Copies of this chain bind each other. A is one copy, B any other.
Amino acid sequence: MEKKRKIINDPVFGFINIPNDFIYKIIQHPFLQRLNRIRQLGLAPFVYPGAQHTRFHHSIGAMFLMDEALKTLKEKGHDISKEETDAALVAILLHDIGHGPFSHVLEHALVTNVHHETISLLLMEQMNREWQGRLQMAIDIFTDTYSKRFLHRLVSGQLDVDRLDYLRRDSFFTGVVEGNIGSARIIKMLDVKEDKLVVESKGIYSIENFLMSRRLMYWQVYLHKTAVAAEKMMINTLRRAKELSMMGEKLFASPALSYFLSQESTRADFENNGEALRHFVNLDDNDIWSALKVWTSHSDTVLSVLSDGMVNRKLFKIDIREEKVDEEKVAARIAAYTKRFNITAREAAYFLSSDILTTDMYNEEDDSIDIVYKSGEVKDISKASDMLNIELLSKKVQKYYFTYLRD
């Protein structure tokens, strides 16, 4: 990516043009460059070694699709100004800047009180200050306070360009080829009706396919049992590290990681470019892996065993069932670990994890996919499709996992 050419070579979409200098500057901003150091799929490379792509790369891809979607809507006669185009592009470029390393891990272990979308917004506001308000419209689109609400839907909705990019990209880099969605076809079918994003009726099979591919990607990739086991092990590792840190133990860690290990940070700590925010923007995948490697030889058994597991791929074993794990099995495991490592039951509990896995992928009230017919009639996909119905689509799938240190 050279400044002059402003073209990025993307194995997924081919050449991506950076539309103008303003967008280029946004891309060069440290907050976005940081996403170059955060993998999109966190720990999925344990299962899919090709899945090393970054949140930066995803953001660029989503920008490309936003550009394509806006071109389609303009061709269909919708009025979208140059300024709105830029704002929508900026909104999608920045939509993920609040993500930390190993997103869910972080939110369950290190930054438990502040959601990544909140952080994204705080970072956008910080950038807006630096640019004297030039990002305001992008922020309004992001927060759904801009008048043309369909622009928000392109950033965040059932058919947003975020999803269209990540499903396609994750399918590409994992090699799960059948997860490939027809992003180009779906975008060609987009339209706007009464300020809502709609899909032309002949696109109905593409939408069905999109929903099923998403489902496949969920179970084949995002909730793959080995990836879930790795994530739960990582959460327990960081929780133990945090517990030790908060008790005053000095662990090897970068200053940014150290900050979040040694205290519970709150939303207030992040606001107004606060200390938490300043540390947050220095935190990425590298801090975690660097620390884990050092912790493998720490004197605390729990920390060193877990860290060694993460670093050297001795991951938790995992069972995924329709029923909750039997309490006796949990107790037996804990007893075994206390004996094996000569630790307390409370410590041994770090060697296992059990809870519910859930997908809740479609909710008609909140957020529908609207199909528009030639007659002008609009129906939700769950009613338009003769294959999918709302009952099935909106059914929460719940499974129970029980994951634990191998013998």
Interface residues of A (CB under 8 A from B): 1-2, 7-12, 14-15, 28, 30, 33, 36-37, 39, 45-50, 52-54, 56-57, 60, 172-182, 184-185, 188, 205-206, 208-210, 212-213, 215-216, 219-220, 226, 252, 254-256, 282, 284-287, 289-290, 293-294, 311-313, 386-389, 392, 395, 397
Contact = CB atoms under 8 A, between A and B. Distances in A.
Given A254-B294, A386-B395, A49 B60 contact: yes
15 contacts: A1-B226, A11-B174, A12-B50, A33-B311, A33-B312, A33-B313, A176-B182, A177-B182, A208-B215, A208-B216, A209-B216, A212-B212, A254-B294, A282-B294, A386-B392
Contact of A216 (B205, B252, B289, B312): B205
A387 B389 CA distance: 9
B293 A48 contact: no
Given A209-B213, A388-B392, 15 more contacts: A11-B172, A15-B185, A30-B311, A33-B313, A36-B45, A49-B56, A50-B57, A178-B185, A206-B216, A212-B213, A255-B294, A285-B286, A286-B286, A386-B397, A389-B392
Given A48-B9, A220-B205, A395-B386, A254 B293 contact: yes
A15 B184 contact: yes
Contacts of A287: 286, 290, 293
B178 A177 contact: no
Given A311-B30, A387-B215, A50 B397 contact: no
Oligomer copy total = 4
B11 A290 contact: no
Contacts of A208: 212, 215-216
B180 A181 contact: no
A30 B307 CA distance: 13
A354 to B, nearest CB: 19
Contact of A212 (B46, B209, B219): B209
Looking at chain A's contact residues, the main secondary structure is: helix
Contacts of A389: 392
Given A33-B313, A180-B180, A8 B49 contact: yes
Contact of A50 (B2, B53, B215, B387): B53
B49 A54 contact: yes
Given A215-B205, A392-B389, A1 B47 contact: yes
Closest 7 CB pairs of A and B: A178-B182, A11-B175, A52-B52, A286-B289, A212-B212, A286-B286, A290-B290
Nearest to A39: B52
Contacts of A15: 184-185, 188
Contact of A282 (B45, B174, B254, B293): B293
A210 B254 CA distance: 45
A52 to B, nearest CB: 4
A175 to B, nearest CB: 4
A173 B254 contact: no
A182 B60 CA distance: 22
